[in-house]
């Protein structure tokens, strides 16, 4: 029996066991399998292990997306989390190649995936408060927001969570060095029902750019 003779339900079940690259490769073989690849049912969960994966176009973004994680554990994460004013030319060149990759992707998620329930970001050193503020506004059903080692995140993201995260149940801001204790206290005061965690964040040394002479 040829694979294309299977009904759509069986094909969707088969595709569900494949990774993004395998799904894309299989979809290129015929029109019927391409239609299965484009079915929103397949794309309720997306996991990425580096910013480069966001540019492969081997996935589908849409209202069906509920769970998203971008976790970058490579040694190169250390470069992205160096303060901008301390980077040498080599480090700046490295970061410039993907500086807006995650941010642009998350803005697209905010515009196309209003039913997102969970977002996990780890090692995303270039993600900004403005980006997360827009995502919180556009994804009102978001229940879980976990941020780890995101250097540019500040108390502005905490304030945005208070203001726009009406559905938030879990908020983690671990190893985010520009989060302060006062920002965490505001979340506890304004949103006591949220399960808040900030491992090491408020105890880390925040960025402090020297004054220009």
Residues 172 and 128 in one domain: yes
pLDDT digits (tens, 9 = 90+) for 38-70: 999 999 999 999 888 998 889 999 999 999 999
164 CB neighbour count, 10 Å cutoff: 19
Q: Are residues 157 and 100 in the same domain?
A: yes
Q: Is residue 153 helix, strand or coil?
A: coil
DSSP for 79-97 reads: HHTS-GGG--HHHHHHHHT
Q: Looking at the domain assignment, is residue 207 inside a domain?
A: no
In this predicted structure, which of 20-34, 94-108, 140-154 has the lowest mean pLDDT? 94-108
Looking at the fold, whether 147 and 116 belong to one and the same domain comes out as yes
pLDDT digits (tens, 9 = 90+) for 81-133: 666 666 677 666 766 777 788 999 999 999 999 999 999 999 888 899 999 99
Please indicate, yes or no, whether residues 58 and 146 belong to a single structural domain of this protein: yes
- 107 vs 118: CA distance, rounded Å: 15
- Report residue 57 as tokens: 């176009």
In this predicted structure, what is the pLDDT of residue 93? 73
Domain that holds residue 193: 43-197
pLDDT for the residue numbered 213: 39
Q: Does the residue 212 lie in any domain?
A: no
Which region among 6-15, 83-92, 109-118, 138-147 has the lowest average model confidence (pLDDT)? 83-92
Return the structure tokens found at 8: 């759509």
Q: 175 with 89, same domain? A: yes
Query: 110 and 93: one domain?
Result: yes
User: Can you read off the two tokens belonging to residue 19?
Assistant: 């990774």
Write the secondary structure of 26-69 as one string of H (helix), E (strand) and C (coil): HHCCCHHHHHHHCCHHHHCEEEECCHHHHHCCCCCCCCCCCEEE
End-to-end CA, the chain: 76
- Per-residue pLDDT of 155-179, as tens digits, reads 999 999 999 999 999 999 999 989 9
Residues 2 and 103 reside in one and the same domain: no
């Amino acid at each position: 029996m040829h694979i294309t003779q299977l009904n759509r339900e069986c094909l969707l079940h088969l595709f569900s066991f494949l990774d993004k690259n395998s799904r894309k490769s299989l979809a290129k073989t015929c029109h019927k399998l391409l239609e299965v690849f484009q079915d929103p049912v397949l794309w309720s969960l997306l996991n990425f292990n580096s910013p480069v994966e966001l540019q492969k176009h081997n996935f589908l973004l849409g209202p069906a997306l509920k769970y998203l994680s971008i976790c970058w554990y490579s040694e190169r994460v250390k470069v992205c989390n160096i303060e901008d004013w301390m980077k040498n030319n080599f480090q700046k060149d490295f970061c410039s190649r993907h500086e807006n990759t995650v941010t642009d992707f998350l803005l697209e998620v905010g515009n196309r995936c209003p039913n997102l329930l969970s977002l996990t970001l780890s090692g995303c050193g270039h993600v900004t408060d403005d980006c997360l503020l827009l995502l919180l506004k556009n994804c009102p059903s978001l229940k879980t927001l976990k941020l780890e080692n995101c250097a540019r995140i500040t108390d502005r993201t905490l304030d945005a969570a208070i203001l726009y995260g009406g559905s938030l149940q879990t908020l983690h801001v671990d190893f985010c060095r520009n989060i302060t204790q006062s920002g965490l206290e505001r979340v506890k005061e304004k949103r006591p029902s949220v399960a808040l965690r900030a491992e090491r964040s408020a105890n880390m040394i925040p960025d402090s750019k020297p004054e220009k002479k």
